[in-house]
Each structure stands twice: as structure tokens, then as C-alpha cells.
A and B are shown apart, each in its own frame.
Chain A
Amino acid sequence: MSLRRFTEHALSEWMRGEGPQSDIVISSRVRIARNLSGLPFPMLATSSQSAEVVRKVEEALRQNPVDLVIREAELIRMDDLSDLEKRVLVEKHLISPHLAEESRHGAVILSKNEAVSIMINEEDHLRIQCLFPGLQTDQAWRLADELDNGFENTLSYAFSEKSGYLTSCPTNVGTGIRASVMVHLPALAMTQQMNRLFPAITQVGLAVRGIYGEGSEALGNLYQVSNQVTLGQAEQEIIDKLQSVVRQMIEHEKNARERLMETMRTQLEDRVHRSFGVLAHARIISSKEAMERLSDVRLGVDLGLLSSVSANVMNELMVKTQPGFLQQHARMRLDSDERDMRRAALIREHIHKQD
């Protein structure tokens, strides 16, 4: 079964950590929401209307092979997946929890390299998502735009002159674009500067959240910065603003890292190596601790304090130590204690492989 490729093969392109600014920026994502005209949004669509959406999109995909990326893509129906397989796709950020759990006739078109995932019958009929490693919001937007144009050759979108692309949720109307960048900001977190950064970012129409929820707590010092405004600004403006704010965050983080290296290098080295020691030897590790330790080690690699592991192992482990992946790897359901043991084993295995 070809889906195995997506769920068993753990590395997506975005986890390879080879993009620009990849010492701080994990990934860049652009998602655009579109709906077909003449059909109710998924929330109110009947089963046959939802099936019609899938049919139309599938046909549009066949008629408009935008480029190689999408020609090699395949359409996967949520109904054909086990809960665990869905969950792994969620953990790889290829589909949303909503599509996995609540959609009717939900489906996803995945490109072979997993840079493109197009959700069908999520909150909107179509959600075109492009995910790139490092800071590549421009590239992600260009590809999403191109795919959108390809679909529009065949599909009629719900659009109005005044409000733009009409979406199910009023927070997406207009451009329907949500661009986001995942950044690793351990030095800003350590020096408690995040709380000062947050309000400033909110003021320019962007939002920051920890990857596991809202508010200031972020697991593994990973934050997601994204645009909030979708109406009244052109796509390129939105992308440019996000990009420039992220660049400023990168600068702040770099400065904070330099200052830490100057003023408390030994403490920093101690912290990095302690965390490495835990990851290399622990037998039981919770997901929270794993994320924290991985963050320390990743910082150590970026600062040249640690050379026995590569940065992308960290990217990879941040995904592979999630519950869905662990269970997929073990080929059985695991309770939380068993997962903590498997997680520790998996991390050890990856770290020692690198020696």
C-alpha cells in the first residue's frame, strides 16, 4: 500500500533542516483556503455534496498537472486510513487534526516529497499547503499560488469583489492565506525575552504561539509566527511582513545566543551536554522532557558546542518521538508508560547511530 511511504518513511523534506537560516528557522508554511462556488461549505454540506467536491478536485488534479510535484501526487481518502496512520500524518503536519477526526469525505493530496499537501473537505473545500525547510516563505507562497492557479483553470471558486475568496471562517476571508514560520528560540526563552516580543508582534497583525497551544508556553522552545490578517492586504504584503518580522526575531535570537556564549559559556555547555547525556542514556523519557532536551542539544549543535549529532537528527526526533510515530514504529498500541520507554530507546538508537 502506497500510503506506507508517507507514514513509515519518517523524514519529510521540511525536517531535513537544510533551508536558509536553518539554525533558527525549522520550517515555513503557506496555506491557502479555497471553496468551490455553488456548494455549501463542508460544515453544512451533505454527504453527496462532499463526495462531489472530492470528485471535482480529483478531476481538476488530473486535468491540471501543475508540475512534477503535483503530477507525482496521490489522493488519499481519510476513510481508507487507520486512526494511527491519520495520526502520523498529523504529527508530520501534513494534515490537520480536524481533517483526521471530523471531516466527512475528507481527503488529502500529497506530493511525493511531502512539500505539498492539499486537504479536501477540511473546514474549507480546499486547503492548499506548501511546507519548506528553513526560512522560505516566498518559495512556499509561489508554489501555493501556482497550484491555486492550476486548480482555478478547472474549478470555479467562491469569490466576491468586496470580500475576496469566501471562506467558512471569517478569520480567513479575503486572501485565504495563512503563512507561518516555525522558529526555535531557546536563547530568547532562556533570557526571558519572549514576553516582551509577543505584544510587539501582535501589534503588527501577526501572532506567535507555542507549537502545542496558545499563550506563552512552548514545548522545546518552538514557536510559530503567523499572519492573522487575511483581508485588506495583498498576499505579497502579508508574506513580506511575516518575513521581515521573522528576520528580526532571528537577529534577536542570534544576539541573545552570542551574549549567552560570552557571559555564561560554561553553564551553557554544561546544560547542553547534560541534556545530551540524558538523551543518550535515559531509559524512560516523557515527551515534554524529550522536547526540552532536544531543544538544548539542538542549540548546542547550532553553537558548535556539540558535534557528535547533526541538527536534522533533532528535527527528525521531534517528530519521531510523538505518540503516533512511536506506535507506528512499535506496530502496536502503547500506553503512556510504554511510550516513555520506547521514546527513550528510539532517541538512544538515533544518537548512537551518529557516533
Chain B
Amino acid sequence: MQCQECGKRPATLHYTKIINGEKTEFHLCDGCARDKGEQMPGFDGGFSIHHLLSGLLNMDTPVSEGKPRGQEGSPSGLRCSTCGLTYSQFSKIGRFGCSDCYQAFGERLDPLFRRVHGHTAHRGKVPRRTGGKLKLRREMEQLRDELSKCIRNEEFEEAARLRDRIRSLQEKLQG
């Protein structure tokens, strides 16, 4: 098979990409692949994820409400005061400019997070040093879950042990 770009050399790189939901096949020679920046066998899928993201974000912009876009109060008017990135820039590039963007765009991000992750709130690790009380609260939630499980299973010895740990955590949180 010849390279689809130059038609001169045999295609050595063959792959499929999904761009905006459409599957496209590519057959390139090494030279043209390099020009396209595709020749590096990177682990991550490249740009298509951002096409996809941008598509998702634009879906969040209300268009059927009878109001023209860009009006006051519409998400595109939002701007992060720390880095200056606007919501509409964000929805084009699919990237935040700084950590304050999360605050600035606030709950507008929830539908996006829900679509990408199926969730809107973090349940994982918390920084040890700066996470402080949050970490204790998380631990307590987990212990409470375990406690009710123990009670359901009638494992009362373990339940008593858990109850004591919850108490001592409570003291730590208040102190």
C-alpha cells in the first residue's frame, strides 16, 4: 500500500483514529508520519481526546433556551481572575489554565465531570500534610461504613473496636 499523503513511498504506519466520532484510517510512510507528528510511539492517544472533550463541553452550552449565546450570565462570560482563561477558551482547548479555574467555573463543570467520569466528587487520596481534617473525615466515613457492615453481620467484637476508633477520631477532629 502506498502512503496516502505523498503517494510515493510505501506506507509503513497504519492506524485508525476516531475524530469527532468518525473512524478514519491512516496509512503513512515514515517521512509523512514524521511531518504529521505521528511517528512517535507515545503511550497516550494524542489529540483526539481533546476534540472529544471540546465536543462534550460545547454540548453544555445552552442553545435551545431561546437566548442567543454569549449573553450575560451564560457560561461563556465566565473568566478565571487568576490566569485570565475564559470559559469559552476552556471549552475550545479542553484545558484549565491554573488550579483556580476550577473554582471560577464552579458548578458549570459538573455536567462535564459527570460525562467523563460518571462522578463529580473526589473520593481518593488526600495530601498528608495539607489535607489534615479532610483526611480524618474521610477515614471516619469509611470506619462508619465498616461499622454498619459489622453490625449487619453481627460481628459485635469488631464493631466495638471500630466504635472506639471512631470516637477517638471524633475527638481529634474537634480538638
Complex-state Cα separation, A170 to B53, whole angstroms? 9
Name the segment of B122-130, B155-163, B165-173 touching the other chain.
B122-130
Q: Is the CB of A232 within 8 A of B31?
A: no
Whether A171 pairs with B124 at a CB distance below 8 angstroms is no
Q: Would A323 and B123 count as touching, CB distance under 8 A? A: no
For A162, give its contact among B41, B45, B122 (CB under 8 Å): B122
Chain A residue, CB-CB nearest to B27: A288
Given that A96-B44, A224-B43 are contacting pairs, would A162 and B98 also be in contact in the complex, using a CB cutoff of 8 Å? no
A87–B40 touching, CB < 8 Å? yes
Interface membership of B152, Cβ < 8 A: no
Hey, what's the 0/1 contact readout for A154-174 against B, CB within 8 Å counting as 1?
001111111111111111011
The answer on a CB contact under 8 Å between A153 and B122 is: no
The CA-CA distance from A173 to B96 in the complex, in Å, is: 11
A322 to B34, CA, bound (A): 13
- Is the C-beta of B116 less than 8 angstroms from some C-beta in chain A? yes
Contact partner of A214 among B14, B48, B95, B128, CB < 8 A? B48
- Main DSSP-derived SS at the A contact region: loop
CA A43 to CA B101, docked complex, whole Å: 13
In Å, the complex CA distance between A51 and B87 comes to 27
Chain A contacts for B121, CB-based, 8 A: 162-163, 231-232
Interface 9-mer from A55-63, A203-211, A295-303, A344-352: A203-211
Chain A-chain B contacts (Cβ-Cβ < 8 Å), number: 191
Q: Are B45 and A40 in contact (CB under 8 A)?
A: no
Taking residues whose C-beta sits less than 8 angstroms from the other chain, chain B's interface range is: 35 or more
| Cβ-based interface call for B131 (8 A) | yes
CB A271 to nearest CB in B, in angstroms, measures: 20
CA A158 to CA B53, docked complex, whole Å: 22
Task: Determine if B9 and A336 form an interchain contact, defined as CB atoms under 8 angstroms apart.
Answer: yes
Q: Is the pair A161, B95 in contact by a Cβ cutoff of 8 Å?
A: no
Give A247 to B30 CA distance when docked, in angstroms: 35
Interface hits, B15-33 → A, CB 8 Å: 15-18, 23, 25-26, 29-31
Closest to B16 in A: A215
B41 touches A205 (CB 8 A): no
23 chain-A/chain-B pairs, Cβ below 8 angstroms: A29-B43, A37-B99, A44-B85, A149-B128, A152-B127, A153-B129, A157-B130, A160-B102, A161-B134, A163-B102, A166-B96, A166-B99, A167-B96, A169-B50, A169-B94, A169-B95, A173-B117, A211-B43, A213-B46, A214-B45, A219-B14, A232-B119, A336-B31
